[in-house]
Chains A and B, each alone.
Chain A
Amino acid sequence: MSVANRPVHRPLSPHLQVYRPQLTSVLSILHRATGIALSVGALYLATWVIYAAASPKAYAMFQSFNVSIVGRIVLGGWLFCAFYHLCNGIRHLFWDAGYGFELKDAYRSGWIVVAVSAIATAVSWIVGLRLV
């Protein structure tokens, strides 16, 4: 058998039907989900400055959505996604640099990400709602 055709024993993906979620896997999935949400949020941010450049009437229309219940949930949700993806992204950069791969460290950094993003989200919501 040639070298190119040599069978390789690759690692298997977990089977989701019989998979018990752990902190590490949940945070990993959440990183991707918040990343997708933030991509849509970036379009929303772009739309905001486009409306601000267009006319007072257009901006008022956009702003009326922002101050509605749905708008508040979208903006509040954006803040959570941003803080979470930011904190967990920094965790990923440490992994990329080769640090924190021990299981104990992965759990510790995971809980730090949960705590910091929860606190930042709560503070931003409280301050934001007081200013409205």
Chain B
Amino acid sequence: MSDLRTPLARARGLGSAREGVHHWWAQRLTAIALIPLVVWFAISLVMLSGADYGMARAWIGSPLVMVLLILTIVIGLHHGQLGLQVVIEDYVHGDGWKLALIVAVRFVAVVFGLAATVAILRIGFGG
């Protein structure tokens, strides 16, 4: 098949979304990071079935779990936000709605990520 790009587009190398490979690369990096994290978290979630308040807090507040849990939530939200952006770009055609939804998804991800991080630190360090 012949190249579908014009010579100028080819020289710029930014693709049809006009922003290069950053999104694609970030999605892959977060995906690779999430492989061990999701396996660890899924096993932990099953093992925590039936755990009460004290047991759950003791687990969340142990140093290694704090680090892994913050990584899982923050990287997971980032990966989810990158994926949802593609879904929105594919199915929402009005430019205004498209931008509004992408911005809303980003804001929600940042707020929940920060709130969860503060909550985990609070459990770990007491207060």
| Stretch of A18-26, A36-44, A101-109 at the chain-chain interface | A36-44
The verdict on A75 contacting B45 (CB below 8 Å), with A4-B6, A46-B73, A52-B60 known, is: yes
**8 Å CB interface, A103-132 against B:** 120, 124, 127-129, 131-132
Instruction: Please state if A128 and B49 are interface contacts (CB–CB under 8 Å).
Output: yes
Which chain B residues (65-93) contact chain A, with CB distance < 8 Å? 69, 72-73, 76-77, 80-81, 83-84, 87
Q: Is A90 an interface residue (CB 8 A)?
A: yes
The secondary-structure label for the interface of chain B is helix
CB pair A52–B47 under 8 Å, yes or no, is no
- Expressed in whole angstroms, the minimum distance between the Cβ of B16 and any Cβ of chain A is 11
Given A50-B115, A53-B119, A53-B120; A86-B39 close (CB under 8 Å) = yes
The interface residues of chain A, by DSSP majority, are classed as helix
* A73 close to B (CB within 8 Å): no
Q: How large is the interface on B (under 10, 10 to 19, 20 to 34, 35 or more residues)?
A: 35 or more
Output the least CB separation between A132 and chain B (Å): 4
Query: What 11 new A-B contacts, CB under 8 Å, besides A50-B115, A60-B53, A89-B35?
Result: A4-B6, A6-B6, A38-B76, A42-B112, A49-B69, A49-B116, A53-B119, A56-B53, A78-B45, A82-B38, A132-B49
Question: What are 6 residue pairs bridging A and B, where the CB atoms are less than 8 Å apart in the complex?
Answer: A10-B4, A32-B87, A42-B80, A49-B73, A82-B38, A131-B49
Please give the residue numbers on chain A whose beta carbons come within 8 Å of chain B beta carbons, in ascending order: 3-4, 6, 8, 10, 32, 35-36, 38-39, 42-43, 45-47, 49-50, 52-54, 56, 59-60, 63, 75, 78-79, 82-83, 86, 89-90, 92-93, 96, 120, 124, 127-129, 131-132
